[in-house]
Structure 1
Amino acid sequence: MIKFRIAALSIMVVMSLMLSACGTSSNNAGTGKTNNAGGSSTTSEATATATDSSTNAGGTDTVKLSGKVVIYSPNNADINNPIVKEFQERTGVQVELIAGGTGELLKRVEAEKDNPLGDVFFGGDTASLGAYSDYFEPFETKEKANLNPAYLPASKLYTPFTLLPMVIMYNKELVAAGEEPASWKDLLDPKWKGKIAFADPGKSSSSFTQLATMLTAFGKDDEKGWEFVQKLVANLDSKLLSSSGSVYKGVADKEFAIGITLEEAALRYVEGGAPVGIVYPSEGTVVTPDGMAVIKGSKNMDNAKAFIDFAAGQDVQALLQKEFFRRSVRTDAGAISGLPDISSIKTVDYDYGWVTANKTAINERFAKVVTGQ
């Protein structure tokens, strides 16, 4: 087990990525509504119109574009908003941001396959993107040389965005010192019955990754993994949350003593001074990338690719590390102060191919466990 604590710091209101920003724009990211973040937009295909001497996220000249890009994203609004705003101001592209859960948005992409209304899928676990591979266009970002090759798919289906370790979060006012869970197995202790926050894997991509991680840790091929999951579900006491955001918020607000969540989500509460702690389970966890993908048949293909290049670039990745404690996928990124190095976190042998191929079957079986079938 590795326990992690960092001192509370003041949250920066003005983010470093936005120093060059001028003007303001209304943003409804996170509401599930369409967002014309930079004002009115056209429906024309993006075209390059000029280059100037300003610097983009990858450190090269920004290409000025026209038109719009429609982004489907399960990311939190506080992550999306500064990235979208700066992309608009640097490129001239108007962004329409559609927020929702990963599963919900992927089903939308599938339903729109004959007339795609979105251009980019921004966020979500890569297994989920892989399960919907028929609806995405292979694309190789110009930032490829700067990205960790371990997280680049041979299929070019997606571009990795950030690295996300899965952790156990606990509330120090509800969990006595010395009684913190040290492992996934500790979650089965009867004293935690009904006190564990966990999201529905069918609705939350991060929760699905956590489920697949636990199955792997205890035995995905010999039923021992599912034996563990059955016991865990019993200890949840029928409390299955509808979103990943409800997990870390529930722990921080003392609705739950323990939560299964993302490292970066828990860390933001630690950084904000909440009485919470983090555990990297002793059996091992997974450090997985979330992804960005171009929607097949995109009506604004050039702008879609430009946005992915931008989000994989040095400026955005530095912002994510500094302000949101998200680990960069870039090889030239520095370490995040106070965080354990990736190499020190014990991981399970996470089989991405198996997870992607069995995503539907895993979710269906989990639903049966929950309903007692």
Structure 2
Amino acid sequence: MRLALWAATALAAGLTTNATATYAAGELNLICSADVVICEQMQQNFQKESGIQVNMVRLSSGETYAKIRAEARNPKTDIWWAGTGDPHLQAASDGLTLEYKSQKLDELTDWAKKQAETSGYRTVGVYAGALGWGYNTDLLKQKGLKEPKCWADLLDASYKGEIQIANPNSSGTAYTALATLVQMMGEDQAFDYLKKLNANISQYTKSGSAPVKAAARGETAIGVVFLHDAVAQTVEGFPVKSVSPCEGTGYEIGSMSIIKGARNLDSAKAWYDWALTAAVQSKMKDAKSFQLPSNKSAEIPKEAPRFEDIKMIDYDFATYGAADKRKALLERWDREISAIAN
């Protein structure tokens, strides 16, 4: 036990010595809500540096929230890494996650620390990314469609069946889009907009990044996603152009939370501190993850969409991450949008 605690302390200090790998013991049950490539990179690197066996499952943030809530009396997960911050905040308000103040907090950006403060230190920001969409330039040219530059443009009848967005019940990306539109337009106007948009939606996907991956493959013209997910497809060589909406847009704070009742708490804290280091966050670009890192000293990928280049709204994380507000919006989406979905 002392050796395992020593290893956790060494990791928290950012050490990656052979001794750490030799003496660390135990395992970690992790749910990762980012793209599977970065999930696997994080899993492999942590195992190599800590000697702790990571049992990783990839689930969207909405699915993860539902899972940890269902398992609250008998938690099977130790830590939840990544995915949009709103479900993390809801889990915090529901008492499903554990208060933990990492010694790395002072190294983080203000938005990452604010996420921790808002949640009573039951979650913390690990990256950020703005909402927008990516479109297939070849398809738009072939079909004679104009470039959609604004939220209003997506309602054009010429895009009928040409747009994909995820379901906000399973996808944190789509919930961010829903909450963004409500904050920009007002709730009733936002749902009027979504009803009109539904006429152009070919599919509500399970995963938040799936729409732009479909656009990259030529299966749809436009995917509403976080901009870094669209950029990742461009970097891979697909004909995808990213758009930040002219009216303004919201953003995510990808977050991390330790599950209350975690069976492998020392391992969870070791991962938590390790994942907040500049060294770890600087490697995210190696997995084609182009979010803005939360550690102020981490290297920002040159491809990452910068907030200063985007018209951003003052996204209210406290309100739209609250359990009652999120539940009410999702129930209304089910009644008014899912009920008429194509």
Q: Output the TM-score relative to the length of structure 1.
A: 0.81
Q: In structure 2, what is the Cα distance between the partners aligned to 1:191 and 1:51?
A: 56
| 1:325 aligned to which of 290, 297, 301 | 290
The answer to whether residue 164 in structure 2 is matched with residue 197 in structure 1 is: yes
State the match for 2:43 in structure 1: 84
State the match for 1:108 in structure 2: 67
| 2:77 aligned to which of 102, 118, 126 | 118
- When residues 57 and 336 of structure 1 are mapped into structure 2, their CA distance, relative to the original with a 3 A threshold, is farther
User: Mapping of 1:131-142 within 5 angstroms?
Assistant: 131-133=90-92, 134-142=95-103
State the one-letter code of the partner of 1:351.
D
State the one-letter code of the partner of 1:138.
E
Residues 70 and 117 of structure 1 are in contact (CA less than 8 Å); yes or no, is this contact kept in structure 2? yes
- When residues 83 and 46 of structure 1 are mapped into structure 2, their CA distance, relative to the original with a 3 A threshold, is farther
Q: In structure 1, what is the Cα distance between the partners aligned to 2:182 and 2:41?
A: 36
Gaps in structure 1 of 5+ consecutive residues: 1-43
After superposition, what is the alpha-carbon deviation per residue over 1:293-321, rounded to whole angstroms, capped at 9, x for unaligned?
A: 00001111111011011111112110114
* Runs of 4+ displaced beyond 6 Å: none
- When residues 131 and 291 of structure 1 are mapped into structure 2, their CA distance, relative to the original with a 3 A threshold, is same
Q: Output the TM-score relative to the length of structure 2.
A: 0.88
After superposition, what is the alpha-carbon deviation per residue over 1:100-145, rounded to whole angstroms, capped at 9, x for unaligned?
A: 2322222221222222111001122111112122110011122111
Residues 196 and 258 of structure 1 are in contact (CA less than 8 Å); yes or no, is this contact kept in structure 2? yes
State the match for 1:146 in structure 2: 107
Q: In structure 1, what is the Cα distance between the partners aligned to 2:239 and 2:2?
A: 49
After superposition, what is the alpha-carbon deviation per residue over 1:28-72, rounded to whole angstroms, capped at 9, x for unaligned?
A: xxxxxxxxxxxxxxxx898325699xx968644665531111101
Residues 74 and 102 of structure 1 are in contact (CA less than 8 Å); yes or no, is this contact kept in structure 2? yes
| 2:4 aligned to which of 33, 38, 47 | 47
The answer to whether residue 129 in structure 2 is matched with residue 164 in structure 1 is: yes
**What SS does the corresponding residue of 1:47 show, helix, strand or coil?**
helix
**What SS does the corresponding residue of 2:82 show, helix, strand or coil?**
strand
State the match for 1:361 in structure 2: 328
Measure how far apart 1:351 and its partner are.
1.2
- When residues 326 and 341 of structure 1 are mapped into structure 2, their CA distance, relative to the original with a 3 A threshold, is closer
User: Mapping of 1:1-373 within 5 angstroms?
Assistant: 47-49=4-6, 59-60=14-15, 63=20, 64-133=23-92, 134-152=95-113, 153-154=116-117, 155-176=120-141, 179-220=146-187, 223-236=188-201, 239-321=203-285, 323-357=288-322, 358-370=325-337, 371-372=339-340
Residues 112 and 253 of structure 2 are in contact (CA less than 8 Å); yes or no, is this contact kept in structure 1? yes
**What SS does the corresponding residue of 1:175 show, helix, strand or coil?**
helix
Report the aligned-residue RMSD: 2.4
State the one-letter code of the partner of 1:119.
D
Comparing 61-70 and 83-92, the one that deviates more:
61-70
Measure how far apart 1:279 and its partner are.
0.4
Measure how far apart 1:161 and its partner are.
1.4
Residues 7 and 50 of structure 2 are in contact (CA less than 8 Å); yes or no, is this contact kept in structure 1? no
Q: In structure 2, what is the Cα distance between the partners aligned to 1:219 and 1:45?
A: 55
Residues 291 and 305 of structure 2 are in contact (CA less than 8 Å); yes or no, is this contact kept in structure 1? no
Identity over aligned pairs, percent = 26
Measure how far apart 1:205 and its partner are.
1.0
After superposition, what is the alpha-carbon deviation per residue over 1:148-170, rounded to whole angstroms, capped at 9, x for unaligned?
A: 12222211111211112111110
- Give the number of the structure whose residues are more often helix, by fraction: 2
Q: In structure 2, what is the Cα distance between the partners aligned to 1:278 and 1:149?
A: 26
